[in-house]
Amino acid sequence: MDNSNFWENIFSNKEWGKYPSENLIRFIARNFYNVQDRSKINILELGLGTGANLWFCAREGFSVSGIEWSKTGVERFKKRLEDENLSKQIKEIKIGDYAQKLDEFENESFDAIIDIASLCCNDFEKTKSIFDKAISKLKPCGKFLSMTLATGLFGYEKEKGLEQTPGYGIYKGNGKLRFSTLNEIKSLYKHKDFKRTNLSMLTLEDVLEDKETRIIDKIFIIEGEKYPNGGGGDLDLLKRNGK
């Protein structure tokens, strides 16, 4: 089963989340809530699913674009926005592999690109290629957010390597996934025109009856900005100088 059929099957037979993560909300609020005309901010999501994240962005007044394998996922998203009179916020939605569909967008056309645990459905080399393309689609000083799976959570088996299909845990049933160590993250999210501004980790632990804990979710959160030709310099220095 290829990715298109896999995700079409999931979204056709399973109710999916309808609301965004707090990390996405904070990212959007911190970077764009003070913009005078939010409709001029164009946000692209890689792997929009059924559209919970773009629904939030549209509801907050931003223009949204997205790429998604599943036709059913896209249809659910569009219907939700139509039902809530938000369709005018949609700029462009493409169905297919974002490794290919990214080429159909103009360079430097997005103020922000977001990935909420979608890129981790691809192997390292393909993800690297997608990330490099995504940076070319960002405007100068455009923002980037990625949330991706870390090793060490329940369901990840070290002996199987970084790319595996979990047989248990909360990610069971989501196909083959790529888990990352800190070294992989630093290598993957690296580009001559990109400055990483924040790298954090979100961990959720389950407290067992014997008072021990088990990590049931573990996610890297990567944020950054586009600085063409490395012209951004040291971000901390720029902030101190009020630029």
Output the pLDDT for position 187.
95
* Concatenated DSSP letters of the chain: --HHHHHHHHHHHS----S--HHHHHHHHHHHTT-S-GGG-EEEEES-TT-HHHHHHHHTT-EEEEEES-HHHHHHHHHHHHHTT-GGGEEEEEES-HHHHGGGSPTT-EEEEEEES-GGGS-HHHHHHHHHHHHHHEEEEEEEEEEEEBTTSTT--GGG-SEE--SSSTTTTS-SEE-B-HHHHHHHT--TTEEEEEEEEEEEEEEPTTS-EEEEEEEEEEEEEE-GGGTT--HHHHHHTT-
Output the pLDDT for position 64.
98
Output the pLDDT for position 18.
81
Output the pLDDT for position 30.
97
Output the pLDDT for position 3.
58
Output the pLDDT for position 15.
59
> Buried b / exposed e across 212-234, counting CB within 10 Å, b at 16+?
eeebebbbbbbbbbbbbeeebee
Spans of the chain, pLDDT less than 70: 1-17, 229-243
| CA atoms of 226 and 193, how far apart (whole Å) | 6
**Taking the model in full, what pTM does it have?**
0.89
Output the pLDDT for position 112.
98
Strands 90-95 and 63-68 come out as parallel
Output the pLDDT for position 235.
44
And the tokens for 129? 């290629």
- Domains annotated on the chain, with CATH: 3-148+177-202+221-240 (3.40.50.150)
CB count in 10 Å sphere of residue 206: 12
Output the pLDDT for position 1.
37
The pLDDT tens digits of the residues spanning 36-65 come to: 999 999 999 999 999 999 999 999 999 999
